[in-house]
Structure 1
């Protein structure tokens, strides 16, 4: 664990970006927010099989990625599958098959380190096995569960058939067939040899989008059917994936609107889609009337941080008092470092906590924007790493010992 902690601090000292793992260890300021989201969506709404979407809004450096990563960690604790997709110009959001493949590739189960379709199916089968009181009963339960896959009302009927083939191959240790089934389930719907192997129709290019959307909905339904609470998908840096010409932007917004409507109407899917975006992208959405009406608050004083947990937009710029917010971030990082390396630090924890308080004021005076969260994280992590015998010894950029 200590190596992971050092890696986290070094990454944050260099770039100020949130690590993929461990954000819950030093996350501050949104405890009540996460509690509301968890209770409303991951517990109550997912229990009914219902789905929803949220837009996490803030400028660069405001903590959107940290917010996303921490909530995905919470989701896995609540027995949800998760998938985090970083959008960029290589991922065309108007191509549903491309998006589907990326979601599957990044899919992760609770308590699982593996990603993708193979890890999902192995985890699902083992989950059924774990519910049985004996190996004999486990065999009966798994066999019954696999047979039931073709009787489940998936959005894409062929999905259940190939799922069944995959699970049988897994039990029979027919790894070649299992791999082939996972390839089809992972999005290779047009591969004729795979389609012939599982007696499903090959999908023509003109049908990719429609087919992939139904496959994605079927994936969510399967995860719920397998006994998990639901699925949380986080799209990070969405503004990069949407930074295209006006004509394509209109197509993206239209696709986004259609996807939102379809997800909300999905039965027994239990999925929460989170989009981390910058304010300018929200402004672009405002020019698309149908989408603007979908994401707008119901009225003044009815935003998410006003207490309306159903508001689609979570605006991270509406956070607590700035100096106190930055101080809390720094204090949490100090506490984390001293928990694992207290005996190796040159200075006392109290001295570094005092530095953090002065540094929060200094950072706020230098930068009044929401991006000062990233600045604070870089400064504090650099300062703490310098306290370690094993850490680098360069002076942190932008400040000196005398300044804090």
Structure 2
């Protein structure tokens, strides 16, 4: 059974083609990655590009895949390539959908009705939700016989206790769904399932904080591998500073910008989502790699603020857990930026976590010394494989139900 997974952004589409084997129970390892790639620079003429790799990361001949100027063109190119390359039929296509709201707490097979309901959540994740839904609509029309599965970034946090999800707002607003949802759930879901492959026996069931640090960034507190608290809330804007997003700011500041500075709500939204974070503080870039290469004091200031806020929020989640046993770094920055990990761990020494600097510089899986009371780890995440697993699970259940009928 072949599974396609798609993660669509404002100017990019990431994709992966997996083969699911008939193993019981179905494990993450039972999925074989055949090819993966991404379209980038979509809509930026002169900057469009497409890349294709095999499971080992080797560059492959594009064989007809071409840079695209629109998401629809990129999807058409991708599906035409799959058909022409005789990779075989696709049984199911999985999509990363950032916001599932209060009603969608597990992956679903998308129908036109579901698509309309999910579109109503666009305002809660304006940078992500519309772009996650557009490929579903496109492919439902082109391949009506192929199941389209929406995998939600909010679903993993749905079982958090109410005290962790509720704002101190009037009850009628809470009842309407104005609560803290949390995001990056596919990444945290994956990490929770592979902890046993890295951590000492039983350690994965204790008090764990996972730092998903990429262009978007958040933290999640795990108890017995379940989410009990997270730094992102009602939208993907809350919490840590990110590449271009501000993270948490005083709500009164937003009111001030509108009432006193004369900014429109749309201008404030653009500023908080696209002109703030590392990019805003440094005035240079929202990319940690570029900031690490810069000698400008503004770059150092941005990175210092970034590490400080991460360490401070780790303290907050440690309070929610009643302590800390393991600290996990993942995603692009978390897996590759030794300097950021160094700064964060040093500021968390009061929690009992120590750093093995040589292991950290090597990006080793374990970056704490053996006698550290709290373990520090680098564990690669794989949201695409997590989506493929959910798709394979869906197809197995569908097949079982069809056989029973």
Higher helix share: 1
Scaled by the length of structure 2, what TM-score is found?
0.31
Where relative contact order (Cα < 8 A, 6+ residues apart) is larger, the structure is 1
- Structure of greater Rg: 1
Higher strand share: 2
